[in-house]
Amino acid sequence: MSENKKKEAAVVGKWDLSAGDEGFDAEKAKKRDKIKHIVKNVFVYVFLTACAVLSFLPFYWMLMSSVKTEMEFRESVPTFFPHTFQWKNYWMIFHQVLPGSGTNASFAQILINTIVVGLLSTFLGLVVIVITAYALARMDFKGKNLLFAIMLATMMIPGELFTVSNYITVAKAHMNNSYTVLILPFLVSVYYIYLLRNNFMQIPNSLYQAAKVDGLSDLGYLLKVMVPLTAPTLISITLLKFIGTWNSYIWPRLVNTQPWQMITNWVTGGFVDRVQPTSPWGDNWSIYNNYYGASMPLDTLKMAAVCMVSLPLLILFIFCRKYIMRGVSKSGTKG
């Protein structure tokens, strides 16, 4: 068979390479590629499984420690599964009071503070972000580009540098020990404004012109057209802002005293084995009868509190992770 005929037969699939002059075995090559593919997949899944187990191990340890007794938790040889499940740890944390607070700074009260601040800060911040992003994306006014450039420049400055100036401002305004001081300084987020502005600019201007022809106002166009079209980004911004507020630590500890602080401040300073002023079993009680001393921390209760604090964020991430990824990835896509 001539060389040209061989090439023509190979193109139309009529030439059997396994019987060719080169001795190429297509069946063996196919099996070899299949084996390589299987080995590659096995390696990838084993590696990912190992990473998942290592990532989940701290959460497993936290969960198991939260239902152990304090004696078992303090054993020299750690146990990866509790000998005795002490579920009342989750009940006890709601009757803990911060040591030395002199007030009813209970875990329940601090949890309410965190929920209120988280919801209000997220809602009001989202309103500010949406309006500002819309103005920078669609409205024409003098100095818009300069204003946006200045806002982006502030992102290069670490947030910690504003802490002292913000504290002096709220102290002079006598806003300490209130929800206002936890909400007001952080309503504006330049990064989220930038993220949403990019999404707004991807919406065709023809929709705005058509809405104006129909007599729709700017606010109506924003609520009925732009907000629905950018829903994934708005959802991701809402979740990330709520998570950031829920985990805030430095600012609440700096500007507010214990009854007005957030849940992260409470977890680090509470849960010690001492006489509690209030409890479901009456006054003057101690969880372990001061077995470890009046100032020794109860780590099992801390673990239970951390589990309860982490649970809302975990639920939000599990059910809304696709919106977070879709919103962030869409903001970087043009057109």
Reading the block at residue 72, the tokens are: 């078992």
182 within 8 A of 247, measured Cβ to Cβ? no
Q: Which residues face 285 on adjacent strands?
A: 276
**Residues 122, 39 share a domain:** no
Read off the pLDDT of each residue in 293-320 and give the average, rounded to a whole number.
Answer: 78
Residue 84 lies in a domain: no
- Based on the domain organization, do 126 and 58 belong to the same domain? no
What are the pLDDT digits (tens) for 76-85?
888 888 888 8
Residue 127 has pLDDT above 80, yes or no: yes
Q: What is the mean pLDDT of the chain?
A: 78
Domain count, the chain: 2
pLDDT at 91: 81
Burial 58-82 (b: 16+ CB within 10 A, else e): eeeeeebbbbbbbebbeeeeeeeeb
Give me the DSSP letters along 48-99: HHHHHHHHHHHHHHHHHHTTS-HHHHT-SS--SS-SS--TTHHHHGGG-B-T
Q: Largest alpha-carbon pair distance within the chain? A: 103
Residues 59, 110: one domain?
A: no
**Claim to verify: residue 47 and residue 137 sit in the same structural domain:** no
Residues 6+ apart with CB under 8 A from 305: 93, 107, 266, 267, 270, 271
- With respect to residue 220, please indicate whether it lies within any of the assigned structural domains: yes
**Cβ–Cβ under 8 Å, residues 62 and 303:** yes
Mark whether 227 and 312 lie in a shared domain: yes
Query: Tokens standing for 215?
Result: 């007599």
Question: What pLDDT, on the 0 to 100 scale, is given for residue 45?
Answer: 93
Residues ≥6 apart with Cβ < 8 Å to 21: none
Same-domain pairing of 40 and 110: no
Specify the 3-state DSSP secondary structure of 276.
strand
| pLDDT for the residue 221 | 87
Cβ atoms 202, 335 nearer than 8 A: yes
**Chain segment 230-265, per-residue pLDDT in tens:** 888 888 888 888 888 888 888 888 888 777 888 877
Q: Look up residue 98 and give its two tokens.
A: 């911060």
Residues 107 and 29 in one domain: no
In a domain, 228, yes or no: yes
Same domain for 60 and 104? no
- In sequence order, what DSSP letters do the residues of 151-180 get, joined into one string? HHHHTTS-GGGGHHHHHHHHHHTT--SSSH
Quick one: pLDDT at residue 273?
60
Range 37-62 average pLDDT: 90
Answer with the one of 65, 83, 100 that is the final residue of a domain: 65
Same domain, 53 and 118: no
For 24, 34, 41, 185, the CA distances from 28, given in Å and listed in that order, are 9, 10, 20, 68
**Quick one: what percent of the chain has pLDDT higher than 90?**
8
Range(s) of the domain holding residue 52: 3-65
Judge whether residue 318 has pLDDT over 50: yes
The number of residues making up the chain comes to 335
Q: For the whole model, what pTM was predicted?
A: 0.69
Last residue of a domain, one of 49, 65, 81: 65
Residue 266, pLDDT above cutoff 60: yes
Average pLDDT (294-303) is 74
Residue 78 domain-assigned (yes or no): no
Q: How far from 155 is each of 14, 30, 97, 244, CA to CA, in Å?
A: 65, 54, 39, 17
CA-to-CA distance for 279 and 18, rounded, in angstroms? 84
